[in-house]
C-alpha cells in the first residue's frame, strides 16, 4: 500500500502504513512504532498500552482482549489464514452460581469482586507478540510507561467519562487515591500521572506475562480481591491462558465478514447480516424510518438468540453452525413485519454493556491487525489493588446465575463476551479491518457501518459518522442525528423511542484498496481518536 486517503479531507501521501484508534496519543504511538521498524502487531500492542493509561475508563491491563490478525499476503482462497485470539478471562476456580445464590444474589453486581474474572489482556498481548511481533516488548510498552510516569493531557471525551464515574472511584479507597485528584476527576486539559500503573507496565515489559500473572502484581491484586470477599487465587492468575481460535464468517454483498467465535458475540453480527440478506436495504433512506425499523427488528431477533445460546463452548453446547445457517436466518426473518414492531422480547441474561477501545493497524508489508481491549463498564468494577493502580474489569457480569442456562457461572468458565474485532475479506484478501465499540451495541454497530458502505456506498468516514440507533431494554435509543420525523415514524410502527445523551460507541476502520494500492482510513468523532499514516 502506498497512499492513505482520509475521507472528508483531501489527503494523499507516500504511505507505508496506517493506524486508527480511539485516542490520538495511541494513534501517534502506533505510527511511531511503525516508523521504528515495527509491524502491525507491534503497533497495536503499543497503542493499546498507551490507551490503557490515557483512556482509563474504557480499557486497561485489568481487562480482556480479542484480536484478528492477517499476515501479509493473506488470501484465504489459496489456503491463507486469518488468525484469531480469544483473550477473555475465566471465573475463579472457587466460584460458581450456587455460591452466589446461597448468599442472596440474583445477579452479579457491577462493583462486586465476584464480577472480576481473571484479566486476559496481558496474556493475549504476549501471545500476539510472541507469534507475530518484531520489536522487543519493552520497546513497545515504553511510550505507555512514559505517559503514566510523566503525565498525559486529559482529552475532552475522557474528561467527561471520568467525571461521570467519580462516585464509583470514590467508593474504593485505592481507586480514589490513584485515579482522582483531591477527590475529584481531572478536567479537560489537566495533566494526570499514574506512577503505580507505570511500575506494573514496567514489570510486564521486563518479565512478559509473568510480570502480571505472578509475583507482586498478582499477589497484590489477588490479596485485595480476597479482602473484598472474592475467591481468586494466585493459581487462577497463573493459569490464565488466551486461545488461538479459527474465525467464523458470513457473506454479505460479496464480502466475507470474519469474527471471533463464541464465547464472544461476533456470531450475532454474522446472524444479523444473514437475516438482512433477505432485504434490499438500498431501497430505504439510510437515516429513515424503514432502515432503523429493520435494524431494530433484526436486533431484537438476534439478541434473543444471543441470550439463549451464546456461552463458553468448553462448558455448553453452542450451536454455532446452526446459528449461521441460512435456514435459521430465513426462519427468523419470517417474523419481521415492515408495517409494525414485534412484541418486546424477554429480558436478557445479564449486564451486557459498556466501554471498550478498538484500534486497527495496517503496516507497509500489508500485515493487518484488528484489535480490541476492554474493562466492560466504564472503569470496570472501580476496584483497584493498593500497589498496582490496575482497575479491574467487571466482565463476570456477563454471566447469568440461572441454573441450567448455557451461560450460567461455573468455575474457570468464560462469560458471554461483547468485544468483537472484525475483518472483512474480498476475494479472500483483507478488505476492511474495523470495529465499533459500545458493549452490547457492537454487533449492531458493525452491521450498521458495513451496510453503510455496501448498501449505501458511503466512504469510511461517512460510514462511521452516520447516525445510529440501538434497540435495547425494550426501546429504540436514538442518537441526536436522527430526525424527529423519523422517530415519530418509528413510534407509529409501535416502537418506544428515546434520545440518548451519550452516543452509541465509537469506531475505527481501514479499508485496503488492492486495485489502486491505497488505504482509506477513518476514525469516529464520538471518541477522541484519529486516523494517521506515514
Q: List active site positions.
A: 356
Angle between helical axes of 40-54 and 195-207 (0-180°, round to 10): 160
Q: What is the Cα–Cα distance from 88 to 299, expressed in whole angstroms? A: 24
Q: State phi, psi for 312 to the nearest 5 degrees.
A: -75, 115
Q: What is the Cα–Cα distance from 394 to 445, expressed in whole angstroms? A: 22
231: DSSP letter: -
Nearest to 440 by CA among 353, 530, 358: 353
Nearest to 272 by CA among 432, 409, 444, 40: 444
DSSP-H helix ranges across 228-319: 234-238, 266-276, 289-309
| Location of C-alpha cell 468516514 | 461
Exposed, middle or buried, 256 (CB in 10 Å: 0-12/13-18/19+)?
A: buried
| Location of C-alpha cell 493506524 | 19
Nearest to 435 by CA among 418, 416, 414, 412: 418
The size of the chain, in residues, is 534
Q: What is the Cα–Cα distance from 122 to 103, expressed in whole angstroms? A: 32
352: DSSP letter: -
480: cell is 441526536
Q: What is the Cα–Cα distance from 274 to 277, expressed in whole angstroms? A: 5
Nearest to 38 by CA among 22, 54, 16: 16
Q: Which residues are CB-contacts of 485 (< 8 A; sequence separation ≥ 6)?
A: none
341: cell is 414492531
Q: Is 36 helix (H, G, I), strand (E, B) or coil?
A: coil
Q: Do 57 and 355 form a contact (C-beta atoms < 8 A)?
A: yes
Q: What is the Cα–Cα distance from 100 to 103, expressed in whole angstroms? A: 5
Contacts 24+ apart (CB under 8 A), 402-405: 402/97, 402/349, 403/97, 403/98, 405/311, 405/349
Report how many helices (DSSP H) and strands (DSSP E) the chain contains, helices first: 19, 19
Q: Is 56 helix (H, G, I), strand (E, B) or coil?
A: coil
Buried b (16+ CB within 10 A) or exposed e, 341-357: beeeeeebbbbbbbbbb
Amino acid at each position: 500500500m502506498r497512499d492513505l486517503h482520509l475521507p472528508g479531507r483531501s489527503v494523499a501521501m507516500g504511505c507505508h502504513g496506517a493506524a486508527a484508534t480511539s485516542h490520538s496519543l495511541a494513534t501517534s504511538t502506533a505510527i511511531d512504532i511503525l516508523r521504528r521498524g515495527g509491524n502491525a502487531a507491534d503497533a497495536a500492542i503499543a497503542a493499546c498500552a498507551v490507551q490503557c493509561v490515557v483512556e482509563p475508563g474504557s480499557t486497561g491491563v485489568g481487562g480482556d482482549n480479542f484480536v484478528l490478525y492477517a499476515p501479509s499476503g493473506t488470501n484465504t482462497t489459496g489456503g491463507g489464514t486469518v488468525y484469531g485470539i480469544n483473550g477473555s478471562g475465566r471465573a475463579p476456580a472457587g466460584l460458581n452460581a450456587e455460591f452466589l445464590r446461597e448468599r442472596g444474589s440474583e445477579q452479579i453486581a457491577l462493583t462486586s469482586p465476584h464480577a472480576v474474572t481473571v484479566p486476559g489482556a496481558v496474556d493475549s498481548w504476549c501471545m500476539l507478540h510472541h507469534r507475530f511481533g518484531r520489536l522487543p516488548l519493552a520497546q513497545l510498552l515504553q511510550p505507555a510507561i512514559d505517559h503514566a510516569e510523566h503525565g498525559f493531557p486529559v482529552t475532552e471525551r475522557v474528561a467527561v467519562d471520568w467525571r461521570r464515574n467519580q462516585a464509583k472511584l470514590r467508593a474504593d479507597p485505592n481507586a480514589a487515591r490513584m485515579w482522582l485528584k483531591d477527590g475529584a476527576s481531572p478536567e479537560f486539559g489537566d495533566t494526570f500521572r499514574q506512577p503505580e500503573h507505570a511500575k506494573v507496565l514496567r514489570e510486564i515489559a521486563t518479565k512478559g506475562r509473568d510480570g502480571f500473572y505472578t509475583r507482586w502484581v498478582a499477589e497484590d491484586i489477588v490479596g485485595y480481591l480476597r479482602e473484598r470477599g472474592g475467591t481468586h487465587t494466585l493459581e487462577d492468575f497463573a493459569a490464565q491462558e488466551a486461545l488461538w481460535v479459527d474465525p467464523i464468517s458470513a457473506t454479505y454483498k460479496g464480502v466475507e465478514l470474519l469474527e471471533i467465535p463464541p464465547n464472544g458475540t461476533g456470531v450475532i453480527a454474522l446472524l444479523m447480516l444473514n437475516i438482512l440478506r433477505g432485504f434490499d436495504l438500498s431501497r430505504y433512506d439510510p437515516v429513515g424510518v424503514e432502515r432503523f425499523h429493520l435494524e431494530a427488528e433484526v436486533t431484537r431477533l438476534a439478541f434473543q438468540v444471543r441470550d439463549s445460546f451464546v456461552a463458553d463452548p468448553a462448558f455448553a453446547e453452542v450451536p454455532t453452525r446452526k446459528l449461521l445457517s441460512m435456514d435459521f436466518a430465513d426462519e427468523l426473518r419470517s417474523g419481521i413485519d415492515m408495517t409494525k414492531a414485534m412484541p418486546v422480547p424477554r429480558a436478557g441474561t445479564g449486564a451486557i454493556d459498556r466501554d471498550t477501545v478498538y484500534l486497527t493497524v495496517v503496516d507497509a508489508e500489508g500485515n493487518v491487525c484488528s484489535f480490541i481491549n476492554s474493562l466492560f463498564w466504564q472503569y470496570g468494577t472501580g476496584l483497584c489493588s493498593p500497589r498496582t493502580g490496575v482497575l479491574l474489569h467487571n466482565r463476570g457480569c456477563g454471566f447469568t446465575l440461572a441454573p441450567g442456562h448455557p451461560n450460567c457461572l461455573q468455575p474457570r468458565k468464560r462469560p458471554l463476551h461483547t468485544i468483537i474485532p472484525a475483518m472483512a475479506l474480498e476475494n479472500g484478501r483483507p478488505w476492511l479491518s474495523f470495529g465499533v465499540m459500545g458493549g452490547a451495541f457492537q454487533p449492531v454497530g458493525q452491521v450498521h457501518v458495513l451496510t453503510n458502505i455496501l448498501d449505501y456506498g458511503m466512504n469510511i468516514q461517512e460510514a462511521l459518522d452516520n447516525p445510529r440507533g440501538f434497540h435495547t431494554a425494550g426501546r429504540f435509543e436514538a442518537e441526536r442525528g436522527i430526525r424527529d420525523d423519523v422517530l415519530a415514524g418509528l413510534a407509529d410502527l409501535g416502537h418506544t423511542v428515546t434520545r440518548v445523551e451519550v452516543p452509541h460507541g465509537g469506531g475505527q476502520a481501514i479499508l485496503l484498496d488492492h486495485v489502486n494500492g491505497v488505504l482509506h482510513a477513518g476514525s469516529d468523532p464520538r471518541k477522541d481518536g484519529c486516523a494517521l499514516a506515514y
